[in-house]
Structure 1
Amino acid sequence: MKAEGGGKRFAVRILVAIVVLLVLLVVVLGLALETASADPYGMATARPLTVSDVSKIEPLYGDVWTPNAAVSWSPDGRFVAVGGGFTAGVAILDAFSGRIVRTWSVPGDIYVLRWSPDGRRLAVGNELGFVQSPGWVYIYTPDGFLQDSWQAHSWFVGGLAWSPNGTEIVTTSNVRYAIWDVATHSRLWLDTNASTWGDSVDWSPDGHLLAFGSNAGPSIYDAVSHERLYQPPSVEWDQRGVAWSHSGARIAAANLDGCATVLSRSGQTLWSYNDTAGAYGCSQFAGYPAWDPTDQMLAVPTPAGIRIFDTADGVLLRTLAFPVDRYAPSTITGNYGEGNSRDLASAWSPAGEAIASVGTMSHPSFRVWGLPHGSVASGIAAFEFATVAGIPLALGRDFLTLLVRPSECLASEAKRSRLLLIGSVLLLFAFVVAVLQQTALEFLGRAFGGFVIPPPSWFAVTAILSCALAVIPVAVSVRVFQAVAWKTPRESGATLRIAAKVQGLALLPVVWCLALGCLALSIALAFGVEDSPVLGATLIALFGGVGVLLATGIVSATSGATFYRSVLALLAVAGVTIGLSFAEFLAVVALLSIVHFVPTGDLAAYGIRIQFGFGIAPWIASVLALAVIGVGAVLTQSAPAFLAPLYSRLRVKSILDLQSRREVLAYLGTHPGVHFRELLRSLPLGSGNLYYHLQVLEREGLIVARRDGMYRRFFLHPTSEAKIPPGTDRS
């Protein structure tokens, strides 16, 4: 009774420790996601980009199905406005996370949008119709509230710019431009014969000059007298987008072929870059270039990517081609030149730490570039460390013994009984922790893979759905595990309840080793190691494979299965949980389609992501481990003796070190053919302990079993005497 009471107290203590650990892991992961998701790409603390950094610039994230015709960064650097294109209206994005803050519709087709100098208003220029329709100006607050609107031209508003003091707006249309008072939207000036195509305009920082996009460069006008100061030589069909430098000393003009020109305020050409090998040989639509805050670099969008120029001499430093192959195939793409990136407009952040662009494809339509970072991985590393340290603390000394010497640990009737008491709890614990692990890996994959990070609430919903869908796969996996791990499931000790407990014990080292692998991955990323699918897959496969090998020792020690049967049982568990979870997911999707369910909120923005059962990573690791074992067995022409340090089979002498096992062997020597119940009555052993000893002795060839009707009778093996080392005490 004392042992039983002690076992129950042990089970209660472990149960409380596991519940506390689960709560701790959920809290740590939740805090990590909450903290990191606010600025997952480290933009708030990033330093401004310099010319020497151009070779190190990497894609930070891309957003799908956003407006893609125009882009403008708010003066405080916190938000980016995008508008027009195949997604109508305006979207305001959080620049740090890439998440859409708000959207609203705007009539017609948007051509341009600009933040006011104080960041309190957003001006939008459009065409209110399909072809040659009136162009309007709309003034919105950042929350999407319409403050004012007026018709500016009889055709589209292709270019728009605020005056430096924010009281006036200049608009441009086909060969004409106008200046408007924002407060009264009264027209202050109209030029109906301007040297501009009407696709671009910019106001100099000092407010004295205007630059309009025209053939092969900018046309420069006096903003007060409206006198034309400079007009470039006429080149047929070479529209250029224009942008003043922040100092106001230079003007950049560029088109979508990447042809760029930088001029002084007086119109003197400082340098030109003409790519006649482009799609149209420098006869292209206007691109929208952007200066960095120091005026040392110029970003020019092209179909091949964003070209970065050194503005001192016009040297092309690099072309930033966004890795669109990481995303789902775009359902809509623009066709205005060769290249996969298809950037249309660019904007440098006010602090200079990042470059934003929009492109004419749906996946992704909005992109942000900057310097790589690793700080976001530190929160995930804290979660992994809590898992790695928490599991041994919750289970106490038995954990390490179970991990390294499972046969020795489970040979003791007391330890075996109390560990099996908590086996079912450990099974549920393993699957919940597996879902949390997959959630952490999902976050790392998005943060370092160039994807927008959903809010923590989305991760919470997907984790809950994953746990809910795991109920049936877990239940079925127990029956599959029972069928594979035991040769004869109808025997004593092979019940479904025992199988669930053994499976829980066996999955514990897999979960722990995977946490070690994820910890190594997150630490590597935190220290700046470049992320790649190979790095993550290698670490997960390596540590997961070790976990599977450790788990086979537990399966063999409890069920009496051979090494290969134990591996097969674990593979079967992983395969069944993944397959059933995937089938459940497809069934749920079909059901939602039948009832015409329309997701809202985060699910509508980021979709539904389900972690399949015990996770794909352990399954892949198991397959790789099995492949390594198979290759080793072929090379050594024997059983996997190359795994001897961890998994060599028990030698006969070590088997007979236990007195209880020697008693079983001695009794069979004097009572050959005895059955299980008679052995149980004759020896001072519990049924579970006796069953385990018989399995070990039969597996090692010291005894044999024969079926006799309803009974299974045991005999000494004919060669047992030769196998028992000389000097072994049989008493």
Structure 2
Amino acid sequence: MRVLFPLLLGLSLAAPAPVPPLHPAGQVDVGAPAQSVALSADGRVLVVGTARDVQRLDPRTLRPLGVLTGSDGGGWGATFSRAGRLAAAGLTRGVTVWDDLSRPPRTIDSPGGRVFALAWHPDGQRLALGDAGGYWQVTPGGPRGQLRGDVMAAAWSADGLTLYLSTGQEDSATYALDAGTGRVRWRQQNVPATHTRRAYYGLDEVNGLSLSPDGRILASAHQDGRVLLRDAATGRLRRALSGGEDTRWAAFTPDAQVVAVGETGRVNAWTAAGQPAEQAQVSGELWHVLVLPDGRALTAGADGAVRAWTLPTQVH
């Protein structure tokens, strides 16, 4: 025991291995705060939504390819449908939709003010949106309703039968809704007792939602810095990942690993087992992250930079 005890003590006090850095793989300045990035289903069109407009970029080199007609209201939450339609929300009420990127867009109004949440149904025809007044709707012809907080994010199940929504302010929860009726299937709120809310923020706002490639896990990005992984069918918490502070968005890689960004400028990547894999730190807020099929991650920053990162082999 006199020999083993110091060894055991040493093991218990050993510092964890440092998390290696992510590798930069290029960047472009888009001239205004970058708020979202989206890739078309065929991988041929990449857009970045900024506080000023929506711009096309070359998916391989990030070279700017021009500004989309009719995008002068900004580009929060830019997202492509499987059919190639593009939707983005501006700084005012409503959503801009391009049925064809070569033609002028149309607009969809929302009753509760600025739209934060956008997600295309898997059929490529219907769009879910949620706004600052808590109103949500599926258009055209779908259900609609109102939740108790700002609707911050939306996502669809692969079969299109479930719509996931997240909220901020006094609600700060995650919902699974029946896509046909709008009925709440489950609602989960997870606010740590130790969390201190900041001025102008909610209890623990749920800023982003993403589904794993197999559709079984729902990732939610929380203002307190966590990424929560839930069973998409039941809402049961599977794992909590610590991302620092003010996490804005999380995304899955093709093999269901997780990458997240936040307002502190940190990029985090985790293995499937929830172990930190790599991370990076930039100056200023990061608002969105997109994982490309080639294994790169793109981040959208308030400094106007869209940055590419090469993910570690254990994460892509």
Which one-letter code corresponds to 2:120 in the other structure? W
Distance 2:175 2:188 in 1: 7
Q: Alignment partner for residue 191 of structure 1, among 145, 162, 170?
A: 145
Among 285, 288, 293, which residue is 2:249 paired with? Answer: 288
Contact in 1 for aligned 2:73/2:90 (Cα 8 Å): yes
- Decide which structure has the larger Cα Rg and report it: 1
Question: Partner of 1:254: helix, strand, or coil?
Answer: strand
| Residue matched to 1:9 | none
**Distance across 2 between alignment mates of 1:353 and 1:146:** 33
Superposed, which structure 2 residues align to 1:125-140 within 5 Å? 125-128=89-92, 135-140=93-98
Name the one with the larger helix percent.
1
Give the match's secondary structure for 1:146. coil
- CA RMSD of superposed structures (Å): 2.4
- Residue 304 to residue 123, structure 1, CA distance change in 2 (3 Å): closer
CA displacement, residues 635-680 of structure 1 (integer Å, 9 cap, x when unaligned): xxxxxxxxxxxxxxxxxxxxxxxxxxxxxxxxxxxxxxxxxxxxxx
Partner of 1:347: 290
2:265 corresponding residue in structure 1: 304
Matches within 5 A, 1:377-396: none
The Cα offsets for residues 8-52 of structure 1, whole Å up to 9 and x where unpaired, read as xxxxxxxxxxxxxxxxxxxxxxxxxxxxxxxxxxxxxxxxxxxxx
| Unmatched 5+ stretches in structure 1 | 1-53, 129-134, 182-186, 279-283, 323-339, 373-731
Q: SS state of the match for residue 251, structure 1?
A: strand
1:354 to 1:78, Cα distance in 2 relative to 1, 3 A: farther
Equivalent-residue separation in structure 2 for 1:84 and 1:208 (angstroms): 31
Which amino acid in 2 is paired with 1:355? A
Cα deviation 1:436-467 (Å, max 9, x = unaligned):
xxxxxxxxxxxxxxxxxxxxxxxxxxxxxxxx
CA contact (8 A) 1:246 1:293 kept: yes
Residue of structure 2 in register with 1:121 after alignment? 85
- The answer to whether residue 45 in structure 2 is matched with residue 79 in structure 1 is yes
Match of 1:316 among 276, 281, 287: 276
The aligned counterpart of 2:110 is 152
Amino acid at match of 2:134: V
Query: Match of 2:64?
Result: 100
Instruction: Name the amino acid aligned to 2:296.
Output: A
CA distance in 1, matches of 2:266, 2:284: 5
Separation of aligned partners in 2, 1:196 and 1:211: 15
Contact 1:59-1:369 at 8 Å conserved across structures: yes
Shift of 1:140: 1.3
Structure richer in strand, relative to its length? 2
Give 1:289-688 correspondences, 5 Å limit.
289-295=250-256, 297-302=257-262, 303-310=264-271, 312-322=272-282, 340=283, 342-349=285-292, 351-362=293-304, 365-370=305-310
Superposition deviation, residue 206 in structure 1:
1.4
Report how far residue 145 of structure 1 moved: 2.0
Contact 2:142-2:180 at 8 Å conserved across structures: no
**Counterpart in the other structure of 1:209:** 162
Question: Normalised by the size of structure 1, how large is the TM-score?
Answer: 0.36
3-state SS, counterpart of residue 298 of structure 2: strand
CA distance in 2, matches of 1:291, 1:66: 28
SS at match of 2:259: strand
Q: Letter of the 2:261 partner, please give it.
A: P
Q: Find 2:220's aligned residue among 229, 253, 257.
A: 253
In the alignment, does 2:188 pair up with 1:232? yes
Aligned to 2:101: 143
Deviation string 1:138-164 (CA, Å, 9 cap, x unpaired) is 211563522422212330111110000
What is the rounded CA distance, in whole Å, between the counterparts of 1:243 and 1:290 in structure 2? 6
Alpha-carbon displacement from aligned partner over 1:293-345 (angstroms, at most 9, x marks no partner): 121x11111223211122x33222221235xxxxxxxxxxxxxxxxx253210
Contact 1:304 1:319 in 2 (8 A): no
The code of the aligned residue for 1:367 comes to R
State the secondary structure of the residue aligned to 1:200.
strand
Partner of residue 559, structure 1: none
Cα 1:56–1:321 shift into 2, 3 Å? closer
Cα distance in structure 2, aligned partners of 1:73 and 1:143: 13
Find the aligned partners of 2:102 and 2:205 in 1 and give their Cα distance: 32
Paired with 1:356 and 1:246, the residues of 2 have a C-alpha distance of 18
Confirm or deny: 8 A CA contact 2:89 2:95 kept in the other structure: yes
Q: Unmatched 5+ residue regions in structure 2?
A: 1-18, 192-201
TM-score norm. by structure 2 comes to 0.79
Q: CA deviation at 1:354?
A: 0.9
Deviation by residue 1:214-247 (Cα, 9 ceiling, x = unmatched): 3555211111221111212364431121111121
The runs of at least 4 consecutive aligned structure 1 residues that moved more than 4 Å come to 54-57
**Does the 8 Å contact 2:186/2:235 carry over to 1?**
yes
Q: Read off the aligned partner of 2:277 and give its amino acid letter.
A: L
Residue 321 of structure 1 contacts residue 341 of structure 1 at CA under 8 Å; is this kept in 2? no
Any conservation in 2 of the 1:252–1:263 contact (CA below 8 Å)? yes
Distance 1:89 1:342 in 2: 19
* 1:352–1:153 Cα change, 3 Å: farther
Amino acid at match of 1:155: G
Tell me the CA shift for residue 125 of structure 1.
1.8
Letter in 2 for 1:222: D
* Structure 2: distance between partners of 1:155 and 1:341: 27
Match of 1:540 in 2: none
Secondary structure (helix, strand or coil) at the match of 2:185 reads strand
Q: Give the Cα separation in 1 of the matches to 2:216 and 2:291.
A: 18
Separation in 2, partners of 1:216, 1:313: 26
1:492 counterpart residue number: none
Amino acid across the alignment from 1:126: G
1:269 aligns with 2:233: no
For 1:66 and 1:304, the matched residues in 2 are separated by 18
